[in-house]
């Protein structure tokens, strides 16, 4: 069974703290993504990666960075958390535009981050 | 830039009613199009997809047709059930593997 695992379901952090969100996939997918999900705004793309050590900015990268040192792992980093980064964070992986399953993403269960 | 627009929700329908959720997109090249569904308390999962113009994706009684001339991918179902209550997201994969989503449409089906 395919699986995308996010390290923490719930986190509570204080303003200014550094926050790491980890995501691991076991499907040997090339592409990995980080989104945040907010009511009324849907899913907004923060960063994505199409290969190890490669990354591309999404639509809202400000205040975030990412790391992909291994194919199966994609980390989202908040260098200095702020209250407006309180949100649900979703990790996803996919094959990309190769093969018949082009584009389908598999999602983790999400990490709900609260910044106080 | 690339974007996805969906009809505003929430949508409330009676069981067995006809459902349409509109989706239009802006993207260069030849994007692939998707509908994802998020049931209450669950993660997002793929509902259906279409990878080229005039393709029709279908699953669980839902259908959507890739209309390149109108840049649309409207979701339809002829007879909704209470179990279809969920949030539906239209999604576009651009030529460079970037995948973006619309804001989501919440559907409630009442008996």
The C-alpha angle B76, B79, B84, rounded to 5 degrees, equals 75
pLDDT in tens, B85-109: 999 999 998 877 889 999 999 999 9
Across the interface, whether the CB atoms of B43 and A97 are under 8 A apart is answered no
pLDDT at res. A98 = 59
The partner residues of A6 in beta bridges, in order of sequence, read: A23
Q: Which of A31, A42, A110 minimises the CB distance to B89?
A: A42
Q: Are A70 and A53 in contact (CB under 8 A)?
A: no
Residues B9/B105, Cβ–Cβ less than 8 Å: yes
Question: What is the nearest CA distance from B95 to chain A, expressed in angstroms?
Answer: 8
Chain A residues lying within 8 Å of B46, measured CB to CB? 104-105
Q: Which two tokens stand for residue A9?
A: 């379901």
Summarize pLDDT for B35-70 with one digit per residue, the tens. 999 999 888 999 999 988 999 999 999 999 999 999
| Residue B60 DSSP one-character state | T
* Rounded Cα distance, A107 and A33, in Å: 9
pLDDT on residue B30: 81
Q: Is A107 on the interface with B (CB under 8 A)?
A: yes
SS (H, E, C) B25-49: EECCCCCEEEEEEECCCCCEEEEEE
Euclidean distance between CA atoms A109 and A23, whole angstroms: 10
Considering only CB atoms, which chain B residues are within 8 Å of A110? 43
3-state DSSP assignment of residue A83:
helix
Q: Which of B29, B20, B6, B28 is nearest to B91 (CA)?
A: B6
Q: Are B59 and B48 in contact (CB under 8 A)?
A: yes
A63 near B CB under 8 A: no
């Amino acid at each position: 069974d395919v699986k995308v695992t996010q390290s923490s379901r719930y986190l509570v952090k204080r303003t200014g703290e550094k926050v790491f969100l980890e995501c691991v996939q076991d499907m040997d997918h090339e592409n990995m993504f980080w989104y945040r999900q907010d009511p009324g705004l849907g899913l907004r793309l923060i960063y994505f990666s199409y290969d190890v050590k490669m990354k591309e900015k999404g639509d809202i990268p400000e205040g975030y960075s990412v790391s992909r040192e291994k194919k199966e792992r994609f980390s989202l980093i908040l260098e200095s958390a702020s209250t407006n980064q309180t949100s649900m964070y979703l990790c996803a992986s996919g094959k990309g535009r190769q093969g018949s399953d082009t584009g389908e993403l598999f999602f983790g269960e999400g990490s709900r981050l609260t910044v106080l | 830039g690339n974007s996805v627009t969906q009809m505003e929700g929430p949508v409330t329908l009676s069981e067995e009613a006809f459902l349409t959720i509109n989706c239009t997109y802006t993207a260069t090249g030849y994007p692939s199009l998707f509908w994802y569904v998020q049931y209450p308390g669950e993660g997002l999962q793929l509902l259906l997809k279409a990878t080229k113009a005039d393709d029709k994706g279908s699953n669980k009684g839902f259908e959507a047709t890739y209309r390149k001339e109108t840049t649309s991918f409207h979701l339809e179902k002829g007879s909704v059930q209470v179990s279809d209550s969920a949030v539906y997201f239209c999604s576009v994969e651009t030529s460079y593997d970037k995948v973006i989503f619309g804001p989501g449409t919440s559907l409630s089906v009442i008996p």
